[in-house]
Chain A
Amino acid sequence: MSLSLLFYCVGGIAIGSAIFVVLNRNAVYSAISLVLCFFSLAVIYLLLEAYVIAVLEIFIYAGAIMVLFLFVIMLLNLGREDALPNLNYLQRATSLLLVLLFFVGIFLLMIGDQGLFPQPTEQFVAGGIYPLGEALFSKYLLPFEVASLLLLVALIGTVYLAKRKV
């Protein structure tokens, strides 16, 4: 009982902070609420007993990627209310339409695939790091290697772009 209460609290915080990310005009506040969102997601993972994913969520997303985001925001001095350009009505309407389309698409996929709230078909084991490692290096070896290749390409691209200006 108390666990499901915790889930609703944390889920509420996650959704609230995610909305705050979009609505806030100050980029620094947006970044902070995104970090808060990551933390609440991590708690939800903990409730699912997926400890590794929970810690990695904080370690990688909150601890590394968002720090870089914040770094860039501060470097470019975007942390002011007027730093971002005002969108006109046409742009706003278009973006709203696209977002709605995206959500409808996801909703249709969910319903068409397994019903609205899919239940796991087999015993859910996500807690340990051993099953994760084993899955990454056997069943998902190819996607894993392809992802690393993708990162390497991004890395080389960044170095090329940066070097050209020197």
Chain B
Amino acid sequence: MDLLGFTIIVVKVLVVFAATMLGVLVMIYAERRVSAFMQDRVGPNRVGFKGVLQPIADGIKFLMKEDLVPERVDKPIFILAPAILLIPALMTFAVIPFGSSINLFGREIALQVADVNVGILYVLALTSISVYGIVLAGWSSNNKYSLLGGLRSSAQLISYELAMGLAVVSIILLAGSLRLNDIITDQQGSFLSWNIFRQPLAFLIFLIAVYAETNRLPFDLSEAEQELVGGYHTEYSSMKFAMFFMAEYANMITAAALTVTLFFGGWDVPLLDEGSLGLFGALLSVLSFILKVAFFLFLFIWVRWTFPRFRYDQLMRLGWKVMLPLALFNIFLTGGYLTIKALG
């Protein structure tokens, strides 16, 4: 690999990392403001214009707080757990394409860190890893509530991972590839070629599973405040707690980006050929991607203040008795459709 190629990759990694971190900051602010709006409050509005600097103030506060490690915790794992949760959350974005390609320095640069030919499997694998952070944090805290939160979360993530994976399988069947770029190419054209119109059932299952996978309401049973104090992060303070917080929001951003990629054409602007417009087209595709992701991030907050939390048995029943059979049925339908199409 030449120096220029190497530099381009490093720049792309830094840009994606910075964008995710910026997204986390924006999300923290947006969550508080939108929540306030939905509850008819004002929300944070003192730090900076309309309170936009509030997340930075929060961050400084987290850094200045005393970093408590309770006496009878399992120290190595207690310290490691936040990192185990945060690292996969930040790694996942590497394979998601956030725009078409641009021409710079006489070469075609794809707006994606790594074009992996098993991209979607990579995302699912890393999503399944993130449960370790929660489970280990819950266990190492040596606290009943934390342990309960960790246990709940591991059972929940395994249950919904299945439905999510099976919903994705029907998308893979349509696109005929595991590469995220191929899945986007498959959806190009008009609105109607987006997967949400071709696979509405898979979209519904995927969306519900995503809320469960990111531990967001109505599925935030691992940190149900009324029952479990704070769940798995009860004993954490200072920057360690902030890392859990950041991981949650980074996971949400990745999940939203994945939803957009799989079901809403990714960076595709409908009825427009981005390639023919050069740099402007590339910028347009990035903008379209950001807008779509922003909508799904807003949906996360919207849903949070709309639905009450599930009870644990309801959660398990929904996962195993409703979503899993539906996802299997959807694969069956898709397979049947593809067979009929292939025959004639």
Contacts and interface: CB of A to CB of B under 8 A. Distances in A.
Interface stretch (B120-128, B271-279, B310-318): B120-128
A51 B129 contact: no
A28 B77 contact: yes
Contacts of B131: 63, 67
A79 interface: yes
A64 B154 CA distance: 10
B72 to A, nearest CB: 12
A108 B264 CA distance: 56
Contact of B158 (A59, A62, A67): A67
B122 A67 contact: no
Contacts of A64: 128, 158, 161
B178 A74 contact: no
Interface in B145-181: 147, 150-151, 154-155, 157-158, 161, 178
Contact of A59 (B125, B138, B154): B125
Secondary structure class of chain B's binding surface, majority of residues? helix
Interface string A37-76: 0000000000000011001101100111001101100110
A13 to B, nearest CB: 16
Contacts of A28: 74, 77, 136, 139
A128 interface: yes
A150 B39 CA distance: 54
A28 B136 CA distance: 9
A31 B126 CA distance: 18
A67 B157 contact: yes
Nearest to A52: B118
A20 to B, nearest CB: 13
Contacts of A127: 117
Contacts of A129: 117-118, 178
A47 B325 CA distance: 38
Contacts, number: 72
Contacts of B129: 58, 62-63
A21 interface: no
A68 to B, nearest CB: 7
A74 B150 contact: yes
Say which size band chain A's interface belongs to: 20 to 34
B139 A67 contact: no
Nearest to A75: B151
A55 B118 contact: yes
Contacts of A75: 151
A68 B155 CA distance: 8
Nearest to A29: B77
Given A74-B147, A129-B178, A68 B158 contact: yes
A127 B178 CA distance: 13
Contacts of B329: none
B294 interface: no
Given A32-B77, A59-B124, A71 B116 contact: no
B17 interface: no
B246 interface: no
Interface string A113-142: 000000000000001110000000000000
Nearest to B151: A74
A157 to B, nearest CB: 18
B135 interface: yes
A35 interface: yes
A75 B155 CA distance: 11
Interface in B92-122: 116-118, 121-122
Contacts of A51: 116-118
B125 A55 contact: yes
B143 to A, nearest CB: 13
Nearest to B84: A32
Given A51-B118, A79-B139, A129-B118, A70 B154 contact: yes
B191 interface: no
B151 A71 contact: yes
Nearest to A57: B125
A28 B121 CA distance: 27
Interface of A: 28-29, 32, 35, 51-52, 55-56, 58-59, 62-64, 67-68, 70-71, 74-75, 79, 127-129
16 contacts: A32-B132, A51-B116, A51-B117, A51-B118, A52-B118, A55-B122, A55-B125, A58-B128, A59-B128, A67-B154, A67-B157, A70-B135, A70-B136, A71-B155, A74-B147, A129-B118
Interface of B: 74, 77, 116-118, 121-122, 124-129, 131-132, 135-136, 138-139, 147, 150-151, 154-155, 157-158, 161, 178
